[in-house]
């Protein structure tokens, strides 16, 4: 099994260019099924999850022209040959459920298996099904985990989400784009990735208003045409490099970043004493080599709150600052699996329920650890950059699902990291 070897490195310095957002490109690729015409997408990150979704689209009958190493994909779903998504591909990642809405809208039928992905607690797929039922679909879940959804034409409806689920918001939005009449999603997720998907569908001739707020209004249309689109930058990748700079007391310039998408990360790092400046021409300058760094408390929340995906890397950083910090995880209930691994490296973190207390000013040491999920893996690599000796990170397939050119980008900033097959 492949692993990362991470050595104690000096302060990170230099420039890094942020890739297109994984969590934006996956729903956009799924949405190409809504049109019979060519859809061209650039700023597509070269990631395993993207490859899996492209394979899934091809298995459904779409023509997929992949140039992922050049960050470009063209999809033409003129004919959908089957509404039954491959069980093998569905099990490889959770985002594969996003083909359900487009399949229902285009063919009146979607057969999927409950998907795989990171094991970070319950993710409410029921909310997706609730939305489809509101639009007039029948949804049947079989004991083996197969889900069969059928509809004799979708009709607009009011859908209230019990939790602002990103995936459910996206799936219902895609299904509603070709439904008859008006759909209103209340308590919708507000993430930038939702806005990017809405912009893509609107470029295809859709009528979606209110994306980025908690109420989204979709006027259904009969057909959607082809279009071209550039994916937004990955705010979680940007946040990861910001936190890596902070833990190593470095100074880096981050290019291709939208600061309005990372406001809570900027705010919390500034509270800790990190200096951050932005201008449109250069990008985001992160300087952790100016002030002594101190503790802060944080609480994860759906966007625009502090992102749960940066909680584990930020926790690694908080083990190295002066003072005690408290972290509250409110989005996923199983997102402290990295704590055991960080404690094995010399951190002192105690958890109780949703709360974690981090003792600061700890000297970390190398250890053999496992990436329990995508962002926990990034946290362990970041901790390894300041740990004495060598850190071995196993199960790195999680990390490589979500970060493009991970090793290459870190090496360019001076990190001592190697991938071993």
Tell me which of 39, 118, 272, 355 is the catalytic residue. 118
Preceding amide of 325 cis, omega within 30: no
Quick check: helix, strand or coil at residue 353? coil
Tokens of 91: 């099990």
Residue with tokens 């496992």: 370
What strands lie across the sheet with 182-186, from one edge to the other?
158-160, 182-186, 215-219, 207-209
Contacts within 8 Å (CB) and 24+ apart, 151-157: 151/104, 151/108, 151/109, 152/108, 153/108, 153/180, 154/104, 154/105, 154/178, 154/179, 154/180, 154/220, 155/179, 155/180, 155/181, 156/180, 156/181, 156/182, 156/183, 156/218, 156/219, 156/220, 157/183
118 counts as catalytic: yes
CA distance 191 to 27: 13
Which are the contacts of 25, defined by CB distance < 8 A and separation ≥ 6? 41, 43, 44, 45, 50, 231
Preceding amide of 304 cis, omega within 30: yes
Residues designated as active site: 118
């Amino acid at each position: 099994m492949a692993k990362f070897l991470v050595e104690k490195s000096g302060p990170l310095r230099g420039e890094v260019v942020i890739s297109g957002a994984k969590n934006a490109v996956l729903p956009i690729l799924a949405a190409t099924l809504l049109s019979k015409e060519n859809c061209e997408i650039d700023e597509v990150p070269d990631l395993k999850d993207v490859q899996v979704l492209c394979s899934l689209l091809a298995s459904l009958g779409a023509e997929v022209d992949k140039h992922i190493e050049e960050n470009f994909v063209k999809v033409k779903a003129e004919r959908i040959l089957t509404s039954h998504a491959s069980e093998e591909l569905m099990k490889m990642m959770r985002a594969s459920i996003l083909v359900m809405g487009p399949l229902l809208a285009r063919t009146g039928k979607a057969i999927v298996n409950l998907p795989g992905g990171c094991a970070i607690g319950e993710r409410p797929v029921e909310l997706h099904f609730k939305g489809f039922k509101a639009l007039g679909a029948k949804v049947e879940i079989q004991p083996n985990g197969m889900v069969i959804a059928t509809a004799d034409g979708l009709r607009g409806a009011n859908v209230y989400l019990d939790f602002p689920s990103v995936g459910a918001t996206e799936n219902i939005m895609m299904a509603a784009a070709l439904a008859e009449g008006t759909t209103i999603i209340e308590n919708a997720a507000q993430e930038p990735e939702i806005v990017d998907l809405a912009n893509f569908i609107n470029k295809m001739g859709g009528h979606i208003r209110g994306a980025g707020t908690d109420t989204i209004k979709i006027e259904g249309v009969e057909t959607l045409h082809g279009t071209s689109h550039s994916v937004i930058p990955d705010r979680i990748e940007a946040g990861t490099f910001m936190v890596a700079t902070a833990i190593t007391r470095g100074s880096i310039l981050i290019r291709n970043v939208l600061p309005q998408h990372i406001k809570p990360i900027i705010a919390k790092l500034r509270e800790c004493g990190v200096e951050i400046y932005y201008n449109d021409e250069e990008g985001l300058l992160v300087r952790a080599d100016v002030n002594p760094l101190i503790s802060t408390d944080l609480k994860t929340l759906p966007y625009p709150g502090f992102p749960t995906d940066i909680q584990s890397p930020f926790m690694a950083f908080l083990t190295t600052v002066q003072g005690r910090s408290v972290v509250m995880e409110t989005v996923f209930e199983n997102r402290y699996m990295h704590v055991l691994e960080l404690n094995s490296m010399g951190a002192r973190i105690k958890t109780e329920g949703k709360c974690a207390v981090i003792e600061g000013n700890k000297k970390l040491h190398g250890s053999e650890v496992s990436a329990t999920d995508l962002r926990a893996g990034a946290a362990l690599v970041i901790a390894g950059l300041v740990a004495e000796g060598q850190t071995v990170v196993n199960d790195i397939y999680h990390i490589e699902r979500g970060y493009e050119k991970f090793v290459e980008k870190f090496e360019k900033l001076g990190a001592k990291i190697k991938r071993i097959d």
